Amino acid sequence: MLYMYKEVISMEAFLDLLNLFAQRRELVTQALSQHLWLSFMALTVIMFLGIPLGIMISRLRKLAPLVLGFTGFLYTIPALAFFGFMIPFLGIGVRPAVAALIIYGLMPLVRNTYVGISEVDKAVIDAARGMGATNWQLLRDVEIPLALPTIVAGFRTVTVMTISITTIAAFIGAGGLGTIILRGITTYNPPLILVGAIPVALLALTADGLLGLLERGLLRYSKGLSAGRKPSPQAIGPAGSA
């Protein structure tokens, strides 16, 4: 029966696979849209929760080790165990799946937001303060714009991770491309496993690529920002060297 795995690699098998995609079109489209929806819901919440949380702990530094430690701890729990853990509280289906995805994806975004803001050049902050910026202005006009590339990089990590972990949500009845993979595994049908796995990989790669472009764009933008808005180096003394 091992020959089935070898078969997958040949040209003929590749055509068979395309055929299978065509045959199971309906299943794939349905699973794909469920997958996108699950990932999208989780990522939206992660974004609106993770970035403020990261900003908050950059203000209240004492909380940082606690929050980062806790989200980091959540991150170490195996994904499958995490989904299982949700069942007693939220039952099965979409709700527990999205909840698990959110809790799971929070850590990289909180950390990156926090790190991005913490690492804004002290000289830039001093300069802004010297110009009379309030805390809010400092955050809005200086720190967040400069931290944006790091924040987006964090969001990119979370996005790819969430798309791949959403696969596991199928175990608890949330649907998505994982159902196709699990159908393939439980019926010993390797081509069917690929019909589920390939779209997951393509989805993750596409999201990664798009966010990569955004990240590069922002990096250029924030470089321009810090070069343009930064007061002349002489004014702040030894810190400036550009």
Partner 1 sequence: MKKHLTMFAVIAVIVLAVAPLAGCGGQQDDQDQRVVVIGSKPHAEQYILGEMIAIMLEEHTDIEVERNFGIAGGTANLHPAMLSGDIDIYPEYTGTGWMFVLKQDLIADPLEMFEAVRDQYQADFAITWLDPLGFNNTFTLAVPRQLAEDYNLVTFSDLAAISDQLVFGAEFDFFERDDGFDALAATYNFNFKNIREMDIGLKYQSIGGGEVDVINAFSTDGQISLFDLVILEDDKNFFPSYYAAIIIRSEMLENYPEIEEVLSMLSGQISDAEMTEMNYQVDELNREAADVAREFLVSKGLIEDR
SS3 119: coil
Pick 146 or 174: Cβ nearer partner 1: 174
Q: Is 174 helix (H, G, I), strand (E, B) or coil?
A: coil
Q: Does 85 bind partner 1 (CB under 8 A)?
A: no
Residue 172 contacts partner 1 per CB under 8 A: yes
Query: Which of the stretches 141-149, 179-187, 200-208, 223-231 binds partner 1 when contact is defined by CB under 8 A?
Result: 179-187
Nearer to partner 1, 93 or 145 (CB): 93
Closer residue to partner 1 (CB): 116 or 175: 175
Mapped onto helix, strand or coil, the DSSP state of residue 242 is coil
* Contact of 100 with 134, CB cutoff 8 Å: no
Using CB under 8 A as the binding rule, whether residue 87 contacts partner 1 is answered as yes
Q: Does 81 bind partner 1 (CB under 8 A)?
A: no
CA distances 128 to 77, 135, 145, 229, Å, are 42, 10, 13, 9
Cα–Cα dist 101/113, whole Å: 19
Q: Is residue 73 near partner 1 by the rule CB under 8 A?
A: no
Least separation, in Å, of the C-beta of 40 and partner 1?
20
User: Which one of 18, 185, 202, 213 is in contact with partner 1 (CB under 8 A)?
Assistant: 185
Q: Which two tokens stand for residue 65?
A: 């080790």
Taking the C-alpha atoms of 80, 85, 89 and 90 in order, what is their torsion angle to the nearest 10 degrees? 0
Mark the segment that binds partner 1 (CB under 8 A) among 8-16, 106-114, 180-188, 216-224.
180-188
Using CB under 8 A, pick the residue from 127, 153, 192, 203 that binds partner 1.
192
Which C-beta is closer to partner 1: that of 108 or that of 175? Answer: 175
Two tokens, residue 37 = 């929806």
- The closest alpha carbon to 105, from 141, 173, 51, belongs to 51
Q: Which stretch binds partner 1 (CB under 8 A): 127-135, 181-189, 222-230, 231-239?
A: 181-189
Q: Which of residues 88-117 bind partner 1 (CB under 8 A)?
A: 91-93
> Residue 170 Cβ, how far from partner 1 at the closest point, in Å?
7
CA–CA distance, 231 with 151 (Å, rounded to integer):
25
Which residues within the stretch 19-38 sit at the binding site for partner 1 (CB under 8 A)? none
Supply the minimum distance, in Å, between the C-beta of residue 83 and partner 1: 10
Which residues contribute to the site for partner 1 (CB under 8 A)? 1-2, 87, 91-93, 170-173, 175, 179, 182-183, 185-189, 192
